[in-house]
Amino acid sequence: MHTTLAGAPSAFEGGLRPLGSGTWAWIQPDGGWGEANAGLVVGDGASAVIDTLWDQRRCREMLAAMAGPTADAPVRLAINTHADGDHWWGNAELPADARITTSSEARTAMDEEETPRGMARLRRLTGLSGRLPGRAGEMGRYVRGMLEPFDFRHVDLRLPDDSFHGSATEEVGGRALELRMLGPAHTVGDLIVHVPDAGVLYAADLLFVGVTPVMWAGPVDSWIAALNAILALDAGTIVPGHGPVGGPDEVRAMRDYWTWLEQAVAAQHRMGHKALEATIEILGDPDAAAYRRWLVPERTLISVSVMQRHLEGDGPLPRTTAVRAALFDQVASVRRALGDDLG
Ligand SMILES: [Zn+2]
């Protein structure tokens, strides 16, 4: 699999990647919108799957690729790392007797997520509006490109069977999986899965490698604290939610990014700049050259908007379609403003 889900040549190899000691990563290049990773931990006679992708077809493909390692160790446990659909809408493909768990914060947020039916409608609408001239067409084409590889019409939601507060230890086939809720950061309920006997940690969307992260929840200090907590666990192999497999260096790079962006957003805020203007200035700064090379830099706009809300003492971003649409309109504007600057 040397292509992205949209069929373009990919920057790195995807599919089922062995990490050693009975652990695997399922990697979807290049790690942009919806191109989420997942994981597999195989024990003695039982396995655990970490996340189930954005639609059932993708999850089916993944479980088929996992058939070899799980032949004598069926999937008995699944963990959903957070409430974003690209990490759990494939749940219905799991064996019926597999138990699914998540953090209590993520479980609550799942009830507030846009439904697959709503996403299918959005996908259809953006297909139409993408043909319009001007800004409506621009936003339509942007969102259509993001949703194109997925089939939301055939997603039956299967919610987790239970949830935990703070942290939990799960046993699968004689192995311990340490679950810890480290949000709010990317979302309200981000959890990590640490497999101490393998030195492997599934960081989900607390870590993006070579891809611009998105902060839907924040605050930024809480995300930085989460990254420090990940580093303290001393895992040599760390699987991001998006992008290729990394390790502590990639976690430190993510921490540097947030430290840099926090300062840049504060400076823009002091100048009274709104999110769109602030984002274009921040990304245009020579200091941002390395970060502009990360995939989808235009979505910095979302994190800047959320960080400004925190600075102004506003509550979390309302999870309405209108608010998201306004954000994506601005994301598409940033994309245009960056123009040919992007490699
Ligand atoms: Zn994600």
Centre of ligand 1 to C-alpha 87, Å, is 6
Q: Is 324 exposed, middle or buried (0-12, 13-18, 19+ CB in 10 A)?
A: middle
Is residue 323 included in any domain, yes or no? no
Centre of ligand 1 to C-alpha 338, Å, is 23
Structure tokens, 322 = 């209108």
pLDDT at 1: 52
Centre of ligand 1 to C-alpha 269, Å, is 28
Q: Among 298, 304, 217, 309, which Cα is nearest to 264's?
A: 304
Centre of ligand 1 to C-alpha 242, Å, is 6
Which SS3 state, helix, strand or coil, does residue 332 take?
Answer: helix
Name beta bridge partners: 41.
23, 48
pLDDT at 340: 47
> Rounded to whole angstroms, how far apart are CA atoms 306 and 9?
33
Centre of ligand 1 to C-alpha 88, Å, is 10
Centre of ligand 1 to C-alpha 270, Å, is 31
Cα Rg for the chain, rounded, in angstroms? 19
- What CATH number should be reported for the domain holding residue 108? 3.60.15.10
Return the residue matching tokens 């064996």. Answer: 95
Structure tokens, 57 = 């077809």
Provide the b/e sequence for 16-26 (b: ≥16 CB within 10 Å): bbebeebbbbb
Centre of ligand 1 to C-alpha 133, Å, is 30
pLDDT at 343: 36
Is the distance from CB of 222 to CB of 184 less than 8 angstroms? yes
pTM for the whole structure? 0.95
Residue stretches of the chain with pLDDT short of 50:
340-343
Residue 250 burial (CB count, 10 A) = 19
Question: Which DSSP state fits 337?
Answer: H
Is residue 70 included in any domain, yes or no? yes
Range of the domain at 55: 15-125+143-247
Centre of ligand 1 to C-alpha 38, Å, is 10
Q: E strands within the chain?
A: 15-20, 23-27, 38-42, 47-50, 75-79, 99-103, 162-164, 167-172, 175-181, 191-195, 200-208, 237-242
Is residue 137 included in any domain, yes or no? no
Question: Residue 76 to residues 34, 65, 73: CA-CA distances in angstroms?
Answer: 25, 17, 8
Centre of ligand 1 to C-alpha 272, Å, is 31
pLDDT at 342: 41
Is residue 195 included in any domain, yes or no? yes
Centre of ligand 1 to C-alpha 82, Å, is 8
Is residue 287 included in any domain, yes or no? no
Is residue 176 included in any domain, yes or no? yes
Is residue 33 included in any domain, yes or no? yes
> Rounded to whole angstroms, how far apart are CA atoms 5 and 129?
22
Strand pairing category for 191-195 and 75-79: unpaired
Is the distance from CB of 175 to CB of 43 less than 8 angstroms? yes
Q: Is the peptide bond before 184 cis (omega within 30 degrees of 0)?
A: yes
Centre of ligand 1 to C-alpha 43, Å, is 26
Centre of ligand 1 to C-alpha 136, Å, is 25
Return the residue matching tokens 């993001």. Answer: 146
Tally of domains in the chain: 1
Tens-place pLDDT, residues 117-156: 988 888 888 877 777 777 778 878 888 888 888 899 999 9
Is residue 209 included in any domain, yes or no? yes
Residue 3 burial (CB count, 10 A) = 12
